[in-house]
Structure 1
Amino acid sequence: MINGIKTLKFGVEDREKCQNFATDFGLEEVSSDIEGTTKFSMDNGSAIYVYDKDDTRLPPAFEDGSTLREVTWAVDDQESFDTLKDRLQGVDGYKVDTDILYCRDPNGLTLSFEISVMQTSLDQASAGINQYGSINRINEASPVYEKAAPLGIGHVVLFSPNLVAAQTFYEDKLGFYLSDAYNNRGAFLRCSAEGWHHNLFLLKLPHKDTPGLNHVAFIVRDIHEVIGGGLHMNRKKWDSFIGPGRHPVSSAYFWYVHSPFGGAFEYYTNDDYLTPEWQARHYDYSLDLFTEWAVEGGIDDTTRRQINNM
């Protein structure tokens, strides 16, 4: 019914700083079809719009400062769109505007829905990985990236104080599937029965009782691009706080960078691909579930060593 994230709209305090950050991060600025905004587009068809924080065209913010203001989810077809129209009647913020459907989730974040199919087959495949018993690259070296060029928006992570209500909404109203969970702490949700590990992660923290944006994750080709992107952001003096590393839950390689958009931006790749046969796992949260390994502070682009240990 839903096949991915189509667009994100941000309201920010410093649009020029966000523009510089996004460009260094590897996003391509394009001519915006919304006057007074900055737009970045990616190969799979997803896009980011950057508004001034006080722009009255934006929906209300669910936290103070620069932050995410709207997520647009891509809907498969008219039948799916009509199903959502029926399911979401009575939900806070419900509105139908021609071919766009709106509501707010239990966190207070505005969601919209449009008929669109995000690209999944891209002519951007990485060189194969050679492993014991599985040779996928012959007479070809692995790539080295000077910087990253993300292919699309992969997932969004939200602080959700009422985790049960938020998870129930996304599963029951929007048809999302639970991939894995931290007991009373977090839910990894994918928007379709078959697909990548998660498009949304709802996170409940003991010390945070307000909703907000934790981070947005961007798909890159392979671990080499994760590293190339992170090194470039360090070279540009942005605040790289953890990465590269690997998540045991989802299997993804990652690198996180603080952003002026309000939450962190993440490069990631190699997450698990699931089908309806997958059975969600339930864990008590522990640090080793978040990272099998990780470099705190990132890697210095000059020494190629951990920044905090230089």
Structure 2
Amino acid sequence: MQILGLESLVFGAEDMAAARTYLLDYGLDEHDAGPAGGTYEAADGTSVVLRHASDASLPPSNAPSPNLRETIYGVPSQAVLEEIAAELSKDREVRTDTEGTIHAVDDGGFALGFRVTRRRKFELPLLRFNVPGQSPGRGVNECAASKTEIIRPRTLSHVVYFVPDVKKAEAFYKDRLGFRVTDRFIGLGPFMRPAGTLDHHNLFMIQSFNSHMVGMNHFTFHLGSGHEVLHAGWRFAQRGYKSFWGPGRHIMGSNYFWYFNSPFGGTMEFDADMDLHDDAWTPREMLPGADNSQIFLFEAKDKWAPGE
């Protein structure tokens, strides 16, 4: 099944004003804002949909509020959408809404939907780097560092779930929806990508070991570079948002990261430069732990200059 990747994440929030400000400060563009909530888009149109946790139109929550209420994936055509609906209808309820999006629940208890993608092409300034031994990436006298640079999230990257039975959840995405396992933390869970993308993962699932490990762990959008992760994260921290983990760089996926506490029931990450894998890739297996979780990790501190 040619599922392209994440299209939209739908959240039920408790503090709507704080959630809205958070998404705007993260760099997303606001659309369709009103008393019921709004849609917050990256450059390609992938989005977060914000609703109040009590909104009756939301799927039932599988975790304490606030939390993720639905994960929506994009597909390239109506034919693929109908293929998914037919497959899932074999053993669960599948509902189609007035916009043509189909809705169901996965084997981990998470609501999920599928729709013909609304992603759009976008143009942002070309990211260029000067590397000794290679042709110059930037022109002579062209400076890279700018306090006023605009950093835009480009596309939804991935979402991470705590699940009660990781083997069952993995089998659902692999056998029913055609996801591939790219890597695995032994005893913890798989990194998975749908067939329509080469991104290392759109989905990572973590085995829940107690009743408190439920719902979404984190989610993120791709930025353009490791520099953008650092600069966007620095700005975010200066606005008062609390850093949870990072900045650093993962081993599984190789993506730069910086996680922050959020009003969505989990953390939200800045992410960039993820590995790409095709079907020739052999998944790695590693023991979970700090040495295998990141290749390096830093912690932000206040600005400093010599003599201060």
TM-score (normalizing by structure 1)? 0.89
Letter in 2 for 1:212: G
Match of 1:261 in 2: 264
Q: State how far apart, in whole Å, the 1-side matches of 2:66 and 2:277 are.
A: 34
* 8 A contact 1:63–1:211 mirrored in 2: yes
In structure 1, C-alpha distance between the alignment counterparts of 2:77 and 2:104, rounded to whole Å:
19
Q: What is the count of residue pairs matched by the alignment? A: 300
Taking the aligned partners of 1:271 and 1:170, their CA distance within structure 2 comes to 21
Distance in structure 2 (CA, Å) of the matches to 1:282 and 1:301: 38
Once the two structures are superposed, the pairs formed by residues 83-232 of structure 1 within 5 Å of their partners are: 83-97=83-97, 99-116=100-117, 118-119=119-120, 122-124=122-124, 126-131=126-131, 133-135=133-135, 137-139=137-139, 140-144=142-146, 146=148, 148-192=151-195, 194-207=197-210, 210-232=213-235
Q: 2:133 & 2:162 partners in 1: Cα distance?
A: 41
Equivalent position of 1:248 in the other structure: 251
SS at match of 1:57: coil
**Distance verdict in 2 for CA 1:187–1:135, change over 3 Å:** farther
Match of 1:49 in 2: 49
**In structure 1, what is the Cα distance between the partners aligned to 2:18 and 2:70?**
20
226-235 vs 108-117, which moves further: 108-117
CA contact (8 A) 2:103 2:112 kept: yes
Contact 1:193 1:274 in 2 (8 A): no
Q: 2:44 is matched by which residue type in structure 1? A: N
Q: 1:35 Cα deviation (Å)?
A: 6.6
3-state secondary structure, aligned to 1:262: coil
Matches of 2:88 and 2:242 in 1, distance apart?
Answer: 39
RMSD: 2.2
**Aligned amino acid, residue 111 of structure 2:** T
* One-letter amino acid of the structure 1 residue matched with residue 109 of structure 2: G
C-alpha deviation, 1:251, in angstroms? 0.7
Q: Judging changes above 3 Å, is the alpha-carbon distance between structure 1 residues 133 and 176 closer, same or farther for their aligned structure 2 residues?
A: farther
Residue number in structure 2 paired with 1:74? 74
| 8 A contact 1:157–1:203 mirrored in 2 | yes
> What is the CA-CA distance between 1:107 and the residue it aligns to?
2.1
Structure 2 counterpart SS, 1:80? helix
Note if 1:302 corresponds to 2:306.
no
Moved over 6 A (4+): none
